[in-house]
Amino acid sequence: MIQARLAELSLEQFNIIKELYIEQKKKGTARISDEAVRQKTGKGWDEWTLILDEWDVKSWGHRMTARYLREFFGLSPWWARTVTNRHERLKGLKGSPI
């Protein structure tokens, strides 16, 4: 059904929808509220930013940073990746900055 609907769109309409979708994807973790991250991880975004600035994500990389968050702070794999991704985007290390 979605494919049929997309086939009916003009190229211009399709491109507008595509750009909106890309913008939403870029925002990613920016949509997770400070309250939600605090409730699930025990810390807010500002606190995670300070911790990861000290850790030096650029030097350690994504995988080791997520592991660090899992092992030292007890985050679930999903939250460790989410916090790492947000920090990388915030600092311009991955994708478009937040």
- C-beta contacts of 56-62 below 8 A and 24+ residues apart: 57/84, 57/87, 57/88, 57/91, 57/93, 58/91, 58/93, 62/88, 62/94
Q: Where are the domains of the chain?
A: 2-90
Q: Is the pLDDT of residue 69 over 80?
A: yes
Which pLDDT does position 90 carry in this prediction? 87
Percent of the chain residues past pLDDT 90, beyond the cut: 55
Closest CA to 98 of 21, 24, 32, 27: 27
- pLDDT tens, residue by residue, 20-58: 656 655 555 557 889 999 999 999 999 999 999 999 999
Alpha helices for 28-93 (secondary structure H):
34-41, 45-55, 57-73, 77-90
